[in-house]
Amino acid sequence: DAGVIQSPRHEVTEMGQEVTLRCKPISGHNSLFWYRQTMMRGLELLIYFNNNVPIDDSGMPEDRFSAKMPNASFSTLKIQPSEPRDSAVYFCASSNDRDHEETQYFGPGTRLLVL
């Protein structure tokens, strides 16, 4: 299995631009998580989906952030408009709760820099 796939791996953009991050979870996993990691705030859960349905989006910073999961093999995290304080590493993770496996598998992350 290829593991969790994220794209792009690096993104540099200017303030005000739209940014779209993509994630392909491990095949067969039914939960997907979006995290943000910074030195100041550590690892924060932004939103997670279970069976393609958003369960908890309380970590989404504000209306500029949105996430979708149109099917079991794809999710996007969009920031519009982007701001310099959004600069961080964004991780996607997936897990399978059907077999009572409770570990999460992380992708390599997307490093976002907003100038």
Give me the residues that bind another protein (CB under 8 A), please: 4, 31, 33, 42-43, 45, 48, 50, 55-56, 91, 93, 95, 97, 101-109
* Six token digits for residue 61: 């910073």
Question: Measured from the CB of residue 18, what is the shortest distance to another protein in angstroms?
Answer: 24
Beta bridge partners of 34: 47, 92
Q: Closest CB to another protein among 64 and 68?
A: 68
CB of 44 to another protein, least distance (A): 8
Q: 10: Cβ–Cβ under 8 A, 6 or more apart, which residues?
A: 110, 111, 113
* Measured distance CA(50)–CA(42) in Å, rounded: 24
Residue 26 in tokens: 């491990």
Nearer to another protein, 81 or 104 (CB): 104
CB of 63 to another protein, least distance (A): 22
